[in-house]
Amino acid sequence: MIIAVFPGQGSQTPGFLAPWLELDGARERLERFSDLAEVDLVAAGTEWDADRIRDTAVAQPLIVAASLLSYDALSRTGARPAGVAGHSVGEIAALAAANVLDTDDALRLVGLRGRAMADAATREQTGMSAVIGGDQDAVVARLDELGLTPANYNGGGQIVAAGALEALAGLAAEPVTGTRVIPLQVAGAFHTRYMAPAVEVLTSAAADTEVRDPEATLWSNRDGAVVSDGRDALDRLVAQVASPVRWDLCMASFAEHAVTGIIEFAPAGTLVGLAKRALRGVPAVAVKTPDDLLAASALISGGAA
């Protein structure tokens, strides 16, 4: 089975959308996405600097829009992966790719998610740091000592810690043996209790959103499970805003379901990197520009899609 994966916040870089706008109809589609998400995604993806696109209210719809734009470009070639999964906000793109959500609803929802999480992040001074290497149990125990939350279990020897800035500084000053602590340029402690206000906002919006059961195998960040009910998939996505992302369990489930290839859509690279460490031998393609679509199509045509 060849699967599509969609990245989360932090994968965006200045100007990364420029080559995609050269495709027929792409600019018009992105302008529509902008109206739905209430962000100028054309300018954000081609002109704005790193600080401006780091803003949660901008980054989230920008990433999902790019993922869906690049996924649609591959779909138009007739190549379509058999399964989908998304990391954090990438789950919205995954639900749209699996036809659980209409694309318009996906862009409205991600615009709201970005704004709600940005607002929640202003209420207390919090942040996130990647912890690379070390024993996972020892890392989690150290985070607990400091009152931090393991917000992302990314696999491949990486956990993202989240919580108060003072506690994150303590972690950096006295890291677990064998680890490196890398502060992340994000606005708050995502996927923790600090995001509870955003969950409330999204719960109300999700209740009014039409869903369908997935048309492709769909994995959930909550526990790596395959989800076959569309309403359950959306409810999980909403609750995930204030609970840890278990990408490690997703990758373990990929192996159990005999995944034979992975295609990461724009802005691609992060999830392919994790897969290369945790799923050794599984071919992976990062679709960063339209030039990468040929390799993605070849992976599907050469595998059991």
pLDDT band at 303 (very low <50, low <70, confident <90, very high): low
To which CATH superfamily is domain 2-121+192-302 assigned?
Answer: Malonyl-Coenzyme A Acyl Carrier Protein, domain 2 (3.40.366.10)
pLDDT of residue 305: 42
* Exposure b/e, 69-89, CB count within 10 A at least 16 = b: bbbbbbeeeebbbbbbbbbbb
Residue ranges per structural domain of the chain:
2-121+192-302, 126-183
Catalytic residue list: 88, 191
Question: In CATH, what number does 126-183 get?
Answer: 3.30.70.250
End-to-end Cα separation, the chain, in angstroms: 5
* Helix, strand, coil in percent for the chain, rounding step 5: 50, 15, 35
Average pLDDT of the segment spanning 171-197:
94
Task: Identify the pLDDT of residue 302.
Answer: 84
Output the pLDDT for position 134.
94
pLDDT, tens digit (0-9, with 9 covering 90-100), for 125-155: 999 999 999 999 999 999 999 999 999 999 9
Q: Is the pLDDT of residue 28 over 90?
A: yes
Question: Residue 174: pLDDT above 60?
Answer: yes
The answer to whether 184 and 162 are in contact (CB under 8 A) is: no
Burial category of 258 from C-beta neighbours within 10 Å (exposed 0-12, middle 13-18, buried 19 and up) = exposed
pLDDT reading at 251 higher than 70: yes
Q: Give the residue from 101, 97, 163 showing the smallest Cα distance to 128.
A: 163
Q: What is the mean pLDDT of residues 44-50?
A: 97
Q: Give yes or no for residue 301 having a pLDDT over 50.
A: yes
What pLDDT is stored for residue 185 in this prediction? 80
Helix axes 103-121, 56-75, angle to 10 degrees: 160
- The answer to whether the CB of 98 falls within 8 A of the CB of 4 is no
pTM for the full model?
0.94
Task: Encode pLDDT of 190-213 as tens digits.
Answer: 999 999 999 999 999 999 999 999
DSSP category for residue 186: -
% of residues, the chain, pLDDT over 70: 99
Instruction: Note whether 225 and 256 are within 8 A (CB).
Output: no
The whole-number average pLDDT for the span 249-274 is: 95
